[in-house]
């Protein structure tokens, strides 16, 4: 069943995590008094979705800075929120906050009064993901900066979780920067006892095309680990030819394997494919018994992109969005929170399955060994949410989180072009099939206090938002991220 909430603010982008029986959601919202987009973090009940009012102010911790939360991580009594802010002015800088899980208060011993900011260049420097390692008390931060010039470079930092200080043994003074094959951007990081893994893309494909890039590095020094791929790196250009856009967007690891998701396509006007891979954590080689030769590829539409993956003992879950790219006079519209890497104006897009501009949620559950879709999830292994079937509608997933009680989806929905809404859904285990019935109509927006409409712990909550879409042409990189615990 569905219930909704409305904070009466502009808030189209949301990332989140499930931790300690609660949900933490963050992104940005527009302050109604100043009309300024501010960094916002909420704590909500995992069972009902209601705001936990003793967190922050009435359930929300708001930093008085123009910015956006991109990733979460939690350890003990505290959590970290990382992303970007525009405090320097026109350019973006890295921002990391450490807060108490219960009160939402900043931890003053971390950084400066609970906050670390780094304005690394005159460009839009951005954190894309973080991961925590309790064994060495370290926070690993990945993203990119523009210190090398017009192109972004990969930047990885290791910081002490107590103080936020850089760990000197890692890279050079706690920092690794690299510009492989022209340039690259990391989107995701995860770790196990043998090292940490970073996934994204570089421009080493044919003719400078974007190709998948997966690295494995030592937890202590950050050095690439020989034996994984070639010199610690796996690169893969699936599309072939020139002008392809192959991008790894997320990855997770368990005791048996490394799972990577991303998008591949042969060019700007051809169908885009979801791609899921299973690789050996030591060698980086594909497992041949997973999918076809270690990979699953699904052609779903020119704008289709898987953005988040989570694992449990019963399977892997992949969430993202499907739809067609909407064009306005040759410009590509920034579908806020998704990303469409573009180096040149788009002239046309082939309509594959849906009306151009109609984006909808898609979540799959697959077998960890074979990659086969799970029959007991959604409809034949797929859950679809498309409340507003219109050429101007944008419904996108940004994050998945999972615990013993259910699967949580953090995303965006809208009722018409420019009318954006935060949305968080819970799909309760074991019966996810019934929840799909809520995907056929737009949820009603209720007052701020919300209302429980029955149906056990399944729910969907919505936060109203109105934003002006951004038109981008030329070298446009639209970045999203996800949470790590």
Tokens of 93: 């800088």
* In a domain? residue 9: no
Query: pLDDT band at 483, cuts 50/70/90?
Result: very low
Tell whether the model's pLDDT for residue 51 goes beyond 60. yes
Vertex 339, ends 207 and 7: CA angle to 5°? 175
Tell whether the model's pLDDT for residue 431 goes beyond 60. no
Tally of CB atoms within 10 A around 58: 12
Q: What is the pLDDT of residue 49?
A: 86
CATH code for the domain of 291: 2.130.10.10
Name which of 283-297, 383-397, 453-467 the model is least confident about: 453-467
135-145 tens-digit pLDDT: 999 999 999 99
* In a domain? residue 48: yes
> CA 240, CA 247: separation in Å to the nearest integer?
13
What's the chain's average pLDDT?
Answer: 79
> CA 469, CA 335: separation in Å to the nearest integer?
7
Half-sphere exposure of 248 (CA within 13 A, CB side): 32
Q: What is the pLDDT of residue 157?
A: 99
Cis bond leading into 430, ω under 30°? yes
> CA 290, CA 370: separation in Å to the nearest integer?
4
Q: In what order do the strands lie in the sheet with 195-202?
A: 184-192, 195-202, 211-217, 233-236
* In a domain? residue 479: no
Domain count, the chain: 1
Query: pLDDT band at 387, cuts 50/70/90?
Result: low
Return the percent helix, strand and coil in the chain, to nearest 5. 5, 50, 50
234-269 tens-digit pLDDT: 999 998 877 788 999 999 999 999 999 999 985 555
**Buried/exposed code over 146-163 (b: 16+ C-beta within 10 A; e: otherwise):** beeeeebbbbbbbbebee
Q: What is the pLDDT of residue 178?
A: 96
* In a domain? residue 54: yes
Query: pLDDT band at 333, cuts 50/70/90?
Result: very low
**Which candidate, 355, 291, 295, 368, places its Cα nearest to that of 323?**
355
Domain that holds residue 168: 14-472
Residue 440's φ and ψ, nearest 5 degrees, are: -95, -10
| Residues 6 or more apart in contact with residue 29 via CB below 8 angstroms | 7, 9, 10, 11, 37, 38, 40, 62, 463, 465
> CA 323, CA 310: separation in Å to the nearest integer?
22
Residue 340's φ and ψ, nearest 5 degrees, are: -130, 90
Q: What is the C-alpha R_g of the chain?
A: 21
> CA 351, CA 219: separation in Å to the nearest integer?
45
95-134 tens-digit pLDDT: 999 999 999 999 999 999 999 999 999 888 999 999 999 9
* In a domain? residue 112: yes
Q: What is the pLDDT of residue 389?
A: 65
Rounded mean pLDDT of 208-226? 97
What's the DSSP call for residue 223?
Answer: -
Rounded mean pLDDT of 47-65? 93
Interstrand relation of 406-414 and 396-403 (parallel, antiparallel or unpaired):
antiparallel
Name which of 88-97, 127-136, 196-205, 353-362 the model is least confident about: 353-362
> CA 409, CA 29: separation in Å to the nearest integer?
19
Higher pLDDT, 394 or 135: 135
The dihedral over CA atoms of 107, 111, 113, 116, expressed in degrees to the nearest 10, equals: -100
Residue 348's φ and ψ, nearest 5 degrees, are: -160, 160
Total residue length of the chain: 485
The model carries a pTM of 0.85
Note whether 200 and 155 are within 8 A (CB).
Answer: no
The dihedral over CA atoms of 10, 418, 307, 77, expressed in degrees to the nearest 10, equals: 10
> CA 264, CA 212: separation in Å to the nearest integer?
9
* In a domain? residue 140: yes
167-182 tens-digit pLDDT: 999 999 999 999 998 8
Tell whether the model's pLDDT for residue 432 goes beyond 80. no
3-state secondary structure of 163: coil
Whether the CA torsion 415, 417, 420, 426 is positive or negative: it is: positive
Rounded mean pLDDT of 183-198? 96
Query: pLDDT band at 11, cuts 50/70/90?
Result: low
Interstrand relation of 36-45 and 60-75 (parallel, antiparallel or unpaired):
antiparallel
Q: What is the pLDDT of residue 465?
A: 30
* In a domain? residue 2: no
Q: What is the pLDDT of residue 394?
A: 73
Q: In what order do the strands lie in the sheet with 327-328?
A: 327-328, 331-334, 470-472
Tell whether the model's pLDDT for residue 351 goes beyond 90. no
Q: What is the pLDDT of residue 10?
A: 53
* In a domain? residue 478: no
Q: Which residues pair with 60 in a beta bridge?
A: 42, 57
């Amino acid at each position: 069943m569905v219930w909704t909430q409305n904070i009466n603010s502009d808030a189209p982008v949301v990332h989140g995590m499930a931790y300690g029986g609660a949900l933490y959601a963050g992104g940005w919202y527009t302050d109604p008094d100043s009309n300024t987009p501010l960094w916002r973090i909420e704590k909500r009940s995992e069972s009902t979705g209601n705001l936990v009012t003793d967190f922050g102010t009435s359930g929300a911790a708001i930093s008085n800075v123009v910015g956006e939360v991109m990733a979460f991580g939690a350890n003990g009594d505290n959590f970290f929120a990382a992303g970007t802010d525009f405090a320097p002015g026109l350019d973006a800088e890295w921002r990391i906050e450490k807060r108490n899980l219960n009160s939402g208060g900043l931890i003053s011993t971390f950084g400066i009064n609970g906050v670390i900011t780094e304005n690394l260049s005159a460009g839009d420097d951005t954190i894309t993901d973080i991961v925590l390692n309790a064994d060495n008390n370290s926070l690993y931060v990945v993203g990119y900066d523009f210190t090398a010039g017009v192109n972004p470079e990969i930047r990885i930092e290791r910081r002490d979780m107590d103080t936020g200080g850089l760990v000197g043994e890692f890279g050079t003074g706690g920092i690794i920067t690299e510009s492989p094959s022209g340039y690259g951007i990391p989107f995701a990081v995860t770790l196990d006892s043998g090292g940490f893994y970073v996934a994204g893309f570089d421009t080493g494909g044919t003719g400078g095309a974007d190709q998948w890039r997966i690295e494995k590095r030592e937890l202590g020094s950050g050095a690439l680990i020989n034996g994984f791929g070639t010199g610690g790196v796996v690169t893969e250009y699936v599309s072939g030819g020139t002008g392809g856009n192959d991008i790894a967007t997320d990855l997770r690891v368990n005791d048996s394997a490394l799972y990577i998701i991303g998008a591949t396509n042969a060019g700007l006007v051809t169908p885009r494919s979801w791609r899921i891979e299973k690789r050996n954590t030591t060698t980086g080689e594909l497992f041949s018994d997973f999918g076809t030769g270690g990979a699953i590829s699904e052609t779903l539409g020119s704008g289709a992109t898987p953005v988040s993956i989570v694992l449990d003992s019963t399977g892997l879950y992949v969430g993202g969005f499907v739809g067609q790219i909407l064009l306005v006079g040759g410009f590509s519209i920034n579908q806020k929170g998704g990303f469409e890497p573009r180096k040149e104006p788009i002239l046309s897009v082939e309509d594959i399955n849906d009306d151009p501009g109609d984006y909808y949620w898609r979540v799959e559950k697959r077998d960890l060994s074979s990659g086969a879709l799970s029959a007991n999830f959604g409809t034949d292994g797929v859950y679809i949410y498309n409340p507003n079937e219109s050429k101007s509608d944008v419904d996108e997933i940004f994050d998945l989180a999972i615990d013993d009680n259910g699967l949580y989806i953090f995303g965006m929905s809208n009722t018409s072009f420019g009318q954006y809404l935060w949305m968080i859904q819970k799909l309760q285990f074991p019966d996810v099939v019934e929840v799909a019935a809520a995907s056929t109509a737009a949820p009603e927006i209720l007052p701020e206090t919300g209302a429980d409409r029955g149906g056990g712990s399944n729910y969907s909550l919505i936060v109203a938002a109105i934003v002006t879409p951004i038109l981008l042409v030329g070298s446009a990189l639209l970045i999203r991220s996800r949470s790590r615990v």
